[in-house]
Amino acid sequence: MKQQMAMQVVNGVDVSKLKGTIEAIKGTPSLADFRFRIVNKWQGGGLNQTTVKASYGAGQEFPERDGKFTMQADEPPILLSKDEAANPVEHLLHALAACVTTTMVYHAAARGIPLEAVESQLEGELDLHGFLGLDPKVRKGFKSISLSVRLSGPLSEAQKQEIVNLGPGFSPVYDMVSNPVPITVTLAP
Amino acid sequence: MKQQMAMQVVNGVDVSKLKGTIEAIKGTPSLADFRFRIVNKWQGGGLNQTTVKASYGAGQEFPERDGKFTMQADEPPILLSKDEAANPVEHLLHALAACVTTTMVYHAAARGIPLEAVESQLEGELDLHGFLGLDPKVRKGFKSISLSVRLSGPLSEAQKQEIVNLGPGFSPVYDMVSNPVPITVTLAP
C-alpha cells in the first residue's frame, strides 16, 4: 500500500497524501482550520522586515516554522527609499502569482494532469493620487491587475484553459484580492 | 535651499521630496501613474519563484530594477511541499504588513510626527474546505485577518490612534485586500 501511494506523485505533489488529506477533513472538518502568522518590524524609511511565525493547521501547531523565513520590503528612490527589496505591492503580486501557480499545480495533480512548466507575468496599475490623499475618488491600490499564464506540457488547448481556470476557481490569494477580506486593526498597548 | 531641504527628514523619509512629488503631481497628474510587474516560474511541487521586473512611474521606466529582486514561495509538509519558503498567504500578510507600516511611516512624516518603532503582528484564518473544493460556501482565502500595531515614540495616545488609522486610510495593499480588485487572467499562447 505504501509503495503504491509513493508512486502517485504528479507535478511533484503526492496525490495519495492529497486525497488522504481530503478524506481526513471529510471525517473531521476541524482539521481544515489553518492559521498563518507573521510579525513585521520597521527598519527606517520605506524598509521593513517580516518574520514568519509558527502556523497552525490540521489540529496542531508548527513551532518549527517560527522564525524560519524573513522577507523585507522597501520602496525605490522615486518613492523615497533605497530600493533594498521589492515593494509591498510587488509582494502582493508575488503572493498572487505564487498562489495561482500552486493552485493550478495541485488541482491539476489531483486530476492526474501533468505539467512541464508554468510561467506567469503580472502587472498592476496604480494611481498615486490615492495613496497621497490627493483625490478621494481614486483608490489606493491597483485599479486592475493583469495575469498572463503560459503552460507547457502534453496538454490540449481545452486542458490548458481548464487548468488556467483553476487559479481563479480555487486560489486563496486570488480570492482575497478579487473579493473583500475583513481586516481588524488594533493599537497594541 | 538644498541644505534646508536635506534637513527635512522625518522617519527616514525626505519630506521635502515627498512634498515636491505632491506638487509635481498636482501640476502634471499623469506623473501619478505607476505600473509594477513581476514574472513567476514554477519550480516543482509547491515551490515557485518570482522575479521583479522593470517598473514604471513618474513618466519613466526603471529598467535597473529588472531582475534585481527574487522571492520564492513554497508550502509546508502538512500542505504537501518542502517548506523552502513562506507560503503564498504568508506573503500576502507580509505585503499587507509592509504596506500598512510604510503608509503610517510616510504619512506620519508628512505630518511631522516622528516614530521610534513600529511593529505589527498579523494572523489570518483559513478553512481548507474552500481551497480543496469540498464546500462551495466556504471562501478560499482568509475569512478574516487581525493586524495589531505597536507604536513607540514621543506620542500621545490620540496621536498613536491617528497614526494607526493612516494604515487603513491610505495603504494600497490594505485597500486591495479589504476591497475587490479586478484581475484579468489570460492564457498566453
- What confidence category does residue B7 fall into, taking pLDDT thresholds of 50, 70 and 90? low
Nearest by CB to B183, which of A78, A147, A180? A147
Whole-prediction pTM: 0.96
User: 480555487: which residue's cell?
Assistant: A170
Cβ–Cβ of B95/A92 closer than 8 Å? Answer: yes
**Cβ atoms of B164 and B104 closer than 8 Å:** yes
**Cβ atoms of A42 and A48 closer than 8 Å:** yes
Give the 3-state secondary structure of residue B37: strand
Q: Which of B95, B137, B141, B147 is nearest to A34 (CA)?
A: B141
Q: How close, in Å, is residue B156 to chain A by CA atoms?
A: 12
**Cβ atoms of A94 and A86 closer than 8 Å:** yes
Per CB-CB distance under 8 Å, the chain B contacts of A177 are 176-177, 181, 183
For A164, phi and psi rounded to 5 degrees? -60, -35
Tens place of pLDDT per residue across chain A (189 aa):
444 444 589 999 999 999 999 999 999 999 999 999 999 999 999 999 999 999 999 999 999 999 999 999 999 999 999 999 999 999 999 999 999 999 999 999 999 999 999 999 999 999 999 999 999 999 999 999 999 999 999 999 999 999 999 999 999 999 999 999 999 999 998
**Residues in contact with B65: Cβ distance below 8 Å, sequence separation at least 6, in sequence order:** A76, A83, B52, B53, B54, B55
Residues B51-62: b if buried by 16+ CB within 10 A, e if exposed = bbbebbbbeeeb
Nearest by CB to B176, which of A39, A47, A141? A141
Cell numbers given for B115: 516614530
pLDDT for B71: 98
Cβ–Cβ of A99/B85 closer than 8 Å? Answer: no
- pLDDT tens per residue across span B49-87: 999 999 999 999 999 999 999 999 999 999 999 999 999
**Cβ atoms of A117 and A151 closer than 8 Å:** yes
Nearest by CB to A140, which of B40, B42, B172? B172
Cβ–Cβ of A37/B122 closer than 8 Å? Answer: yes
Cβ–Cβ of B144/A183 closer than 8 Å? Answer: yes
Per CB-CB distance under 8 Å, the chain B contacts of A103 are 131
Per CB-CB distance under 8 Å, the chain A contacts of B17 are 80
Give the 3-state secondary structure of residue A160: helix
Per CB-CB distance under 8 Å, the chain A contacts of B37 are 93, 121-124
